[in-house]
Amino acid sequence: MSGTTTLAEYLFVRLRQMGVGAVHGVPGDYNLTLLDYVEPAGLDWVGNANELNAGYAADGYARIKGVGAIITTFGVGELSAINAIAGAYAERAAVVHIVGTPSRVAQDARRLIHHTFNDGEYRRFAQMHAHVTVAQASLRDPQTIPDQIDHVLQQCLIHSRPVYIEVPVDLVSAPIPAARLGSKIGIPRAAPTAHQAAVIAQVVARIQDAKRPIIYVDGESRALGIVPDVQDIVTSTGWPTWTSPFGKGLLDETAPNVHGIYKGSYDDASVQDFINGSDLILCFGPHFGSSNTYNYSSIPKAEVAVIFTDAEIRIGGQIFRDIPVRYSVSQVLKEVDFAKVKPYQTYPDLPRDYSHSFSDVSRDDNITQDKFWRIVSTILQPGDIVLGETGTAGFGCREFQLPPHASLFTPVTWLSIGYMLGAAQGAALAQRELIASSDYYGIQSARTVLFIGDGSFQMTVQELGTIIRKKLDVVLFLINNDGYTIERCIHGLEQAYNDVTAWRYLQAPGFFGAGEDTYTASVRTWGDLQEVLEGDGLKGGGFKMVEVFLSREDAPQGILLDYLKAERARTQNKPT
């Protein structure tokens, strides 16, 4: 391609080439002319309620389609979004943050204008974003703009992390060279070296010599683009396999050798003993933060682990650098002779019990968290996207056994409450685009299912309006447990600061534009829940909402319930 195009057209063509079909954001006076080019470029302009929600939505969209985009205005808009961008950085979501800025003339003259600190300093916002993005570009010279845009977008793809692009309002329609548009931006292919080959040979030898091996799959595997190869290794070896909370949903959980999340010191004793006795742990895409590793107790032992990170392989604690993970995992899959891999003569007796049914409960009893999550998971279908908000919902969703090709978001590291509602909007939009393009595992119908607590819902409730306006297929389970139960579990069981206002939650859909025929339901007992799950109300597309009443002093089995018991004991023993 030769000739020229405008800056805006160049940028949006690049986004489309990367797979972006929709742009999230909020209009503001320094991005309005830029927004004029969005829909003519074939992109859907979403238009969110605020920039924070837009950032959450772009993050959720990116986790399904690989990359997302958000446009904000300078200063007030971008700082409203920066919390979401930071979360995308922490958890590896490839978000392109485009900021409309004042003209170059205004910036160079240090004019005192609105959306600034009124001191003539224009670089502070970019400096803030430099800490939460992997690459940045301040577009100033039309001749170099294509190089700048392409470099930043490539870094976004390579690292699966946010990037930041400033577009001065006077450059939006500036002519720039179009030649680069003839070739797509991609991730460079690794050039094999003797160093890499020697390290891969070590890994292959360990795999073929292992007598009691296991596999541990963490969530950065998605961002690094290695999930299909990892799934092939899991299938070909037949080795017992666990995931982290971040990695849950990446593998086929219906496979007999996939045992769900490894909970470290909170797991079944037989599981802990088996993993602690392994002589090889293949670990892919590690994300070893405290909340993803059950207070660091699920991290594989270094002396028996082979760990694949983005550009390193760690073997028994020794680090081998400059080995891109897509290359390393594909080479391992290619070079291992699975006929020589030692199988388990008798597959170990390891728990895989995800089941609960209404036969396990009394119809008239109130719903409790110990059985709710496994019972409600029976409505999930292949291809569904499930989100569990930070709180009891995020821990409860860890108990699901997911059907094939379903995805799951649970709290990982950033834990910004309210994130999942915006992310559900972005994920549902990405899901619809993939289904429409026949690029969704052959699935023609799927939903996004959100489980969110009352406190979190109040943080970002405005995004309900976007879900309804865009006619997205979202089922929302509102967990009404009268405030911040997760915080009560940690500290302040009876403190007023963990209370929230009691809203009339099922009136929210109508307030935010849903039709009178929108399905809503309220459940308190197991009988209520059974009628909802087995009835016709949740079938079909569109938005649906179910309010589930649970006790404020109840939590799912595991780490959160242990916290709750400890806090009860502390509160009861507190001097009066």
Residues 178 and 226 reside in one and the same domain: no
- pLDDT at residue 576 in the model: 47
Give the tens place of pLDDT for each residue, 432-441.
999 999 999 9
The answer to the question of residue 350 being in a domain is no
The whole-angstrom separation of Cα 150 and Cα 160 is: 15
Average pLDDT over residues 325-342: 95
Q: Is the Cβ–Cβ distance between 35 and 47 less than 8 Å?
A: no
Name the domain count of the chain: 3
Concatenating the DSSP letter of every residue in 484-505 gives: -HHHHHHS-TT-GGG------G
Query: Is residue 500 predicted with pLDDT exceeding 50?
Result: yes
Chain length of the chain: 576
Residues 449 and 514 reside in one and the same domain: yes
- According to DSSP, the β-strands at 280-284 and 258-261 are unpaired
CATH (domain of 410): 3.40.50.970
Task: Examine the fold and report which residue of 114, 147, 182 is the final residue of a domain before the chain moves on.
Answer: 182
| End-to-end Cα separation, the chain, in angstroms | 78
Q: Is the Cβ–Cβ distance between 73 and 49 less than 8 Å?
A: no
The answer to the question of residue 167 being in a domain is yes
Q: CA 227, 233, 236 angle in degrees (round to 5)?
A: 140
Residues 442 and 315 reside in one and the same domain: no
Residues 173 and 215 reside in one and the same domain: no
- pLDDT at residue 298 in the model: 97
The whole-angstrom separation of Cα 343 and Cα 415 is: 40
SS3 101: strand
Residues 365 and 498 reside in one and the same domain: yes
Average pLDDT over residues 473-500: 91
**Beta carbons within 8 Å of 208's beta carbon, 6+ residues apart:** 336, 337, 340, 341, 342
Give the tens place of pLDDT for each residue, 550-573.
999 888 888 888 888 888 888 887
Residues 38 and 75 reside in one and the same domain: yes
Q: Is the Cβ–Cβ distance between 325 and 226 less than 8 Å?
A: yes
Q: Tell which phi-psi region holds residue 321, choosing left (phi > 0), alpha (psi between -120 and 50) or beta.
A: beta
The answer to the question of residue 454 being in a domain is yes
Which DSSP symbol is given to 403? Answer: P
Dihedral of CA atoms 71, 76, 80, 82 in degrees, nearest 10, equals 70
Q: CA 416, 421, 426 angle in degrees (round to 5)?
A: 105
The whole-angstrom separation of Cα 567 and Cα 576 is: 16
- Closest residue by Cα to residue 138 from 101, 109, 106, 95: 101
Residues 325 and 367 reside in one and the same domain: no
Q: The tokens of 199 are what?
A: 């390290």
The answer to the question of residue 330 being in a domain is yes
Q: What is the mean pLDDT of the chain?
A: 95
- pLDDT at residue 44 in the model: 98
Query: Is residue 369 predicted with pLDDT exceeding 70?
Result: yes
Lowest mean pLDDT among 119-123, 148-152, 461-465: 119-123
The answer to the question of residue 392 being in a domain is yes
Give the tens place of pLDDT for each residue, 6-32.
999 999 999 999 999 999 999 999 999
Q: Count the helices and strands in the chain (H runs, E runs).
A: 21, 21
Residues 287 and 220 reside in one and the same domain: yes
Residues 15 and 144 reside in one and the same domain: yes
- According to DSSP, the β-strands at 312-315 and 318-321 are antiparallel
The answer to the question of residue 345 being in a domain is no
Tokens 């007796």 belong to which residue? Answer: 349
Residues 319 and 453 reside in one and the same domain: no
The answer to the question of residue 295 being in a domain is yes
- pLDDT at residue 219 in the model: 98
Order across the sheet with 474-480: list the strands: 407-409, 385-388, 448-453, 474-480, 544-549, 519-523
Residue 335 one-letter amino acid: E
Structural domain harbouring 400 = 358-572
Residues 331 and 445 reside in one and the same domain: no
Residues 198 and 176 reside in one and the same domain: no
The whole-angstrom separation of Cα 556 and Cα 576 is: 30
Query: Is residue 363 predicted with pLDDT exceeding 60?
Result: yes
- pLDDT at residue 356 in the model: 80
Question: Roughly what angle, to the nearest 10 degrees, separates helices 526-534 and 369-376?
Answer: 10
Average pLDDT over residues 155-172: 98
Task: Examine the fold and report which residue of 182, 212, 246 is the final residue of a domain before the chain moves on.
Answer: 182
Average pLDDT over residues 135-159: 97
Residues of the chain with pLDDT > 70, as a percent, come to 99
Query: Is residue 206 predicted with pLDDT exceeding 50?
Result: yes
Q: Is the Cβ–Cβ distance between 216 and 282 less than 8 Å?
A: yes
The answer to the question of residue 348 being in a domain is no
**Beta carbons within 8 Å of 560's beta carbon, 6+ residues apart:** 392, 395, 486, 489
